[in-house]
């Protein structure tokens, strides 16, 4: 079976070693029928589907003031804050993260991530690769995002729910958005070689090729009547348009049938749960990032509950040079407590609803921050290492993977490449990175990760590794 890109009209195939069939593009003209999908998904699979939530921290968070503090380093390295004990003996976080410290046995932290470039863009986090510049080796059409690849390989859930949703707030610095836009490059890696059928359904933002809830921003999503009224208007327009594609028609159908609209209706949520997540806190507009909006985490949980396979969301603004708003001491005190509350509430909420075991969560930015605090009182870009939180999806919890040097500037053992993280996330979805390939627009079969990268053994065990 081949898949057809609406953008490039190129034939391509997806190869499987473990699966007995290939699902068609999400909503393309060759999409499998719902009864076929139901039968295929239910064959030998009675348990809940696995999902991934990718939480992007625009601007690159500091490892020193979060998950890799250096309390014995000089003041211009360790910073202003002390450490706090965690639920894992011998492991300490920054004292500004007490809630996450208390549940550190529910997740693991990689302190030695490598493979990121010094580029202010979400593309690296969503694809695991650099792109947009000469020498990046990007294929025609660009690298697809993780969600686009999952959409291509697995398609929608059995009941037809959208496989890939971007729930991130719209950000004024365009490369932070999930749009394939690059920092300091005019090239755009969008939609990637998986094609426009597999771009995310976008709740907010600037994606013109899919269905956007025009005129209905997140602050109004609780008004179900407004949603349905606006969708009815859009539907009438779509019915009169020759340019509407199958993806958009399916999206209209899902929304007007109420399943996805129900997931987006936060008024249906228990007010006590909303309170646990915390309140929205704006970030300084000069950062160009996202607000600290716990409600977007809550939307992500509700979307996963509704059957979405991959949800991406952005939280905060982390480019803490001290050239905007204040010093890293001030920024940490202002923004880390809200991050601590929102993320811990999200993980505990998944756990309470028995979703954490089947939902992998990754929390990261595009790079780390310099070990030494600069003259203005901030930390600059540092791609040599960074900390990444990984939880759920059957991954082993309560671990610290890798050790950085005394300054927190480079790995001294167990460096973990970004594509090892991607291999791990694919593994939690049941996708074998050693077997599955997708043809690019030139017909060249592409593995999902490069250089024979394998899932992180410390998280998935030896069964996640290639057998030799």
221-230: per-residue pLDDT in tens?
Answer: 445 455 555 5
The residue with greater pLDDT, 324 or 248, is 324
Closest-CA residue to 340 (of 396, 389, 405, 284): 389
Average pLDDT value for residue range 334-358: 98
Q: How many other C-beta atoms can be found within 10 angstroms of the C-beta atom of residue 462?
A: 8
- Is residue 16 within 8 A of residue 435, CB to CB? The reply is yes
Top pLDDT among 264 and 417 is at 417
b/e map 80-113, b = 16+ CB within 10 Å: ebebbebebeebbbbbbbbbbbbbbebbbbbbbb
∠ at Cα 202 (196, 207), nearest 5°? 55
Provide φ and ψ at 277, rounded to 5°: -70, -30
Q: Which residues lie closer than 8 Å to 340 by C-beta, 6 or more apart?
A: 96, 97, 98, 99, 100
The band of 39, judged by pLDDT with boundaries at 50, 70 and 90, is very low
Nearest partner of 147 among 311, 365, 5, 27, judged by Cα = 311
Q: Is the pLDDT of residue 340 over 60?
A: yes
Measured CA to CA, the distance from residue 106 to residue 361 in angstroms comes to 11
- Does 32 score more than 50 pLDDT? no
Greatest C-alpha distance within the chain: 67
Rg (CA), the chain: 21
pLDDT at position 217 is: 44
Q: Out of 80-89, 136-145, 331-340, 373-382, which region has the weakest mean confidence (pLDDT)?
A: 136-145
Strand order of the β-sheet with 2-4 is 2-4, 11-15, 437-439, 445-447
**Residues whose CB is less than 8 angstroms from the CB of residue 399 and which lie 6 or more positions away in sequence, other chains included:** 88, 108, 109, 458, 459
pLDDT digits (tens, 9 = 90+) for 269-291: 999 999 999 999 999 999 999 99
DSSP state of 403: E
Q: Are 207 and 247 in contact (CB under 8 A)?
A: no
């Amino acid at each position: 079976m081949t898949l057809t890109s609406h953008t490039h009209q190129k034939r391509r195939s997806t190869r499987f070693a473990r699966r007995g069939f290939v699902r068609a593009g999400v909503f393309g003209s060759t999409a499998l029928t719902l009864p076929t999908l139901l039968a295929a998904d239910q064959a030998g699979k009675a348990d809940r589907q696995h999902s991934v939530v990718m939480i992007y921290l625009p601007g690159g968070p500091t490892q020193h003031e979060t998950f890799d503090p250096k309390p014995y380093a000089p003041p211009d390295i360790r910073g202003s804050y002390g450490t706090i004990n965690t639920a894992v003996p011998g492991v300490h976080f920054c004292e500004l993260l007490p809630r996450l410290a208390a549940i550190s046995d529910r997740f693991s932290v990689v302190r030695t991530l490598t493979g990121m470039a010094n580029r202010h863009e979400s593309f690296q986090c969503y694809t695991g690769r650099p792109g947009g510049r000469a020498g990046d080796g990007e294929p025609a059409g660009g690298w697809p995002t993780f969600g686009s690849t999952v959409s291509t390989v697995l398609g929608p859930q059995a009941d037809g729910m959208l496989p890939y949703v971007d729930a991130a707030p719209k950000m004024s610095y365009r490369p932070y958005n999930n749009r394939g836009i690059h920092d300091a490059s005019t090239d755009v890696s969008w939609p990637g070689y998986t094609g426009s059928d597999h771009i995310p359904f976008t709740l907010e933002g600037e994606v013109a090729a899919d269905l956007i809830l025009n005129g209905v921003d997140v602050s109004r999503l609780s008004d179900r009547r407004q949603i349905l009224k606006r969708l009815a208007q859009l539907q009438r327009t779509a019915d009169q348009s020759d340019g509407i594609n199958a993806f958009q028609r399916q999206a209209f159908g899902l929304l007007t049938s109420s399943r996805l609209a129900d997931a987006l209706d936060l008024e249906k949520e228990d007010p006590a749960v909303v309170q646990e997540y915390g309140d929205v806190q704006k970030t300084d507009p000069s950062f160009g990032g996202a607000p600290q909006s716990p409600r977007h985490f809550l939307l992500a949980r509700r979307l996963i509950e509704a059957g979405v396979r991959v949800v991406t969301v952005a939280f905060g603004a982390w480019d803490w040079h001290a050239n905007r708003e204040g010093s890293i001491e001030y920024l940490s005190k202002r923004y880390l407590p809200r991050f601590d509350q929102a993320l811990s509430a999200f993980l505990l909420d998944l756990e309470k609803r028995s979703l954490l075991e089947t939902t992998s969560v990754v929390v990261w930015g595009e790079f780390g921050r310099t070990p030494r605090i600069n003259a203005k009182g901030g930390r600059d870009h540092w791609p040599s290492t960074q900390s990444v939180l990984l939880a759920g999806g059957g991954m082993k919890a309560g671990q610290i993977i890798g050790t950085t040097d005394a300054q927190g500037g480079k790995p001294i053992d167990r460096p973990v490449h970004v594509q090892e993280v991607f291999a791990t996330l694919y593994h939690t979805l049941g996708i074998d990175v050693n077997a599955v390939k997708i043809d690019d627009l030139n017909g060249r079969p592409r593995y999902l990760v490069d250089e024979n990268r394998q899932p992180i053994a410390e998280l998935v065990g030896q069964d996640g590794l290639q057998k030799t």
